[in-house]
Amino acid sequence: MAAISHRREKGARTFSTMPDSAVRLLSVVKNYDRQRAVDNLSLEVPAGSIYGFIGPNGSGKTTTLRLILHLILPDQGIVEVLGERGTRAANDRIGYLPEERGLYKKMTVQRQIGYFGRLKGVSGPLIRKRTEYWLDRLGLADRIGAKTESLSKGMRQKVQFITAVIMKPDILILDEPFSGLDPLNLETIRKEILQLKREGTTILLSTHDMTAAENMCDNIFMIDGGKKVLDGPLSKIQENFGQDTIRVRLRGNEFNSWETLPGVSAVRDQGRYQELRFKGDSGEIIEQLSRLGVVEHFEIVQPSLHDIFLRLAAGDKPPEKESEPSDE
Ligand code: ATP
């Protein structure tokens, strides 16, 4: 079934049909020489969602994004973009912010954005209108005539973001969009990404920022060694891990044998508190802790995405999904 996406631009409205899945990969394999970068990968990105790509360095995130963009071809498997297997949709309907930034130093901001807009087939008047709109939104209106070499790193990053959205893409691929941004600019870009999602854009967000992934993404996909190790809504993923984490702080903080506590299998020093992975009776731990000193903080929580990432990257298997209870 196809849904209709409504894309609005200051009064003007365009309609385009959008399949339920913006991107589909089926059993995709990609090798570089003898290195297998993507290993039998299947995934489906729901249209209109923010889909988070996470994974250790060198795990295959950028390669997967480049496959979706049709910048490289798979050795095996199928890559489908907006229901198409050819290059047209990938060329015409995906905006891309690459990890390796590339602006022409001597070009002005306006020419730079115009250049990328024309590459994507946007008409001159629309480029001008959208350039003004975006520079204004991102606080760069007074830099329209400046050469990019005269901009700060954060400003260049924002210009590069504009080059990715100037075509008003149906799918926006952002590879590490927050790297090098101060908290203020990070917030600006974060808000714009969420606004684009509200307008119907599907966003693929590759990031090492686990807090951003946790807060922004509808679905989280984790790749390790080219293989999918996690895929689904964060709430479901966390649910599967269960409430197996204790955050605790003892006054004075002199105790340092946390792993000897009953049921504790791993300890992470978070600085202001300790994070313990445990299985069993929390009452027993509370009892032991209260014998050790004054417990200033104690809570039982689901693991954070950061913690889940560390566990999976260390080779832990994700917990088996509980089967849904039958209504009958
Ligand atoms: P990072 O988080 O560090 O950006 P990544 O998850 O994006 O990493 P990729 O860049 O996709 O990882 O790399 C996956 C694997 O493929 C790595 O082992 C890398 O060395 C290899 N690789 C990537 N590009 C090439 C290339 N052009 N030629 C040869 N090997 C490559």
CA 293, distance to chain mean position in Å, is 41
Please give the distance, rounded to the nearest whole angstrom, from the Cα atom of residue 71 to the centre of ligand 1.
14
Pick from 191, 225, 244, 246: which is nearest to 313 by CA? 225
- CA–CA separation, 281 vs 293, rounded Å? 20
* C-alpha 138 – ligand 1 centre gap (Å): 31
At 70 the three-state DSSP class reads coil
By three-state DSSP, how is residue 5 classified?
strand
Count of Cβ atoms closer than 10 Å to residue 216 Cβ: 17
Could you tell me the pTM of the whole model? 0.86
Nearest CA to ligand 1 atom 31: 32
Residue among 3, 4, 22, 24 at smallest CA distance from 13: 4
List residues bridging with 80 in a β-sheet.
24
Ligand 1 atom closest to 99 (CA): 4
Fold of 3-237: Rossmann fold (3.40.50)
Map out the domains of the chain as residue ranges. Answer: 3-237, 243-301
pLDDT > 60? residue 16: no
- From edge to edge, which strands make up the β-sheet containing 202-206? 94-97, 171-175, 202-206, 50-54, 219-224, 227-233
Q: Which residue has the tokens 């974060």?
A: 190
pLDDT value for 322: 52
Tokens 């649910």 appear where? 239
Closest residue CA from atom 20 of ligand 1: 58
- Which pLDDT tens digit goes with each residue over 175-218? 999 988 999 999 999 999 999 999 999 999 999 999 999 999 99
**Tens-place pLDDT, residues 269-326:** 888 889 999 888 878 888 888 888 888 899 999 998 998 999 899 888 877 765 445 4
